Chain A
Amino acid sequence: KAGVTQTPRYLIKTRGQQVTLSCSPISGHRSVSWYQQTPGQGLQFLFEYFSETQRNKGNFPGRFSGRQFSNSRSEMNVSTLELGDSALYLCASSHGAGREQYFGPGTRLTVT
C-alpha cells in the first residue's frame, strides 16, 4: 500500500505571496491532519479534516487554511506569507478513530 505523499517537497516563496501544499493520504484513510515543524516551536498541530469537514483546529492565524476533497486528498493554503512561516509542513493520515497516524515526508517551505 502506498504511503502518504506530499507535493511539492520543496518550495521557496517571497514574503506576501501565498502557497498551496497538497497531501494524498493512504488509500482508505479518511482523516488528514497537518502539522508545522520549526526548530523553535517544534511540532505544532494546524488542523484536521475528516470526510471533507474540519474537525479540529490548532492555534494558528486565519492565514492558514485547508480543505479536503471527496477522495480524502487535502490541501493547505497559507496566504500573505511571513518569514516565520518557513518550516517543514507535515501531513498525517489515519482512519479517523484515534489510532495509528502515518506521516508523509513533508514539504519544506522557505520564505525569503
Chain B
Amino acid sequence: GEDVEQSLFLSVREGDSSVINCTYTDSSSTYLYWYKQEPGAGLQLLTYIFSNMDMKQDQRLTVLLNKKDKHLSLRIADTQTGDSAIYFCAESRNFGNEKLTFGTGTRLTIIP
C-alpha cells in the first residue's frame, strides 16, 4: 500500500543544517519529491530524485535516498529564517502516473 510518514516538527538554529526525514512503504515508487509550503501559499517544488539514485545535490539542498530502508532525507545547509515553512515529501509510482502521495509535512522552525 501507499504510506508516507514524516515527523511533524523540527526546530533548528539559524546557520545550522536542517535534516528532514521521510519514510515510505511503496517499493514501486519511481520519483520522490520534496515540496515547501509557506503560510497561505501553494506547494513549491524544491527537488526530486529518481529511485535509482542515492543522492542529489542542488545548492544548499542535499537529498539522500536509502531504497533498501525506504528512507528519504532532505538536508538544508546554512538554514536561514526564510527556510521556515512546512516541508512535504511525496512519491509517485510510475511513468504516466502523476498521482503524488504526500507525507503529513514537517514544520521547520528557525531559532534566531
B99 near A90: Cβ-Cβ < 8 Å:
no
Question: Provided the pairs A42-B105, A43-B88 are in contact, do residues A102 and B98 lie with their beta carbons within 8 angstroms?
Answer: no
Residues of B within 8 A of A80 (CB): none
A45 near B31: Cβ-Cβ < 8 Å:
no
Within 8 A of B (CB), among A46-61: 48, 50, 55-56, 58
Inter-chain CB contacts under 8 Å: number: 65
- Count how many chain B residues have C-beta atoms less than 8 Å from C-beta atoms of the other chain: 25
B44 adjacent to chain A (CB < 8 Å): yes
Residues of B within 8 A of A45 (CB): 99-101
Q: Which residue of A lies closest to B43 (CB)?
A: A103
A98 near B41: Cβ-Cβ < 8 Å:
no
Least distance between A47 CB and chain B CB atoms (Å): 9
B45 adjacent to chain A (CB < 8 Å): yes
B41 near A100: Cβ-Cβ < 8 Å:
no
Q: Which residue of B lies closest to A45 (CB)?
A: B99
Main secondary structure on chain A at its contact with chain B? strand
Among B54-62, B68-76, B89-97, the one that faces the other chain is B89-97
Question: Provided the pairs A42-B105, A43-B88, A99-B31 are in contact, do residues A33 and B45 lie with their beta carbons within 8 angstroms?
Answer: no
Seed contacts A43-B88, A56-B98, A56-B99; 14 additional CB < 8 Å A-B pairs:
A33-B100, A42-B103, A42-B104, A45-B100, A45-B101, A48-B98, A55-B97, A56-B97, A90-B43, A94-B98, A98-B92, A98-B98, A103-B42, A106-B41
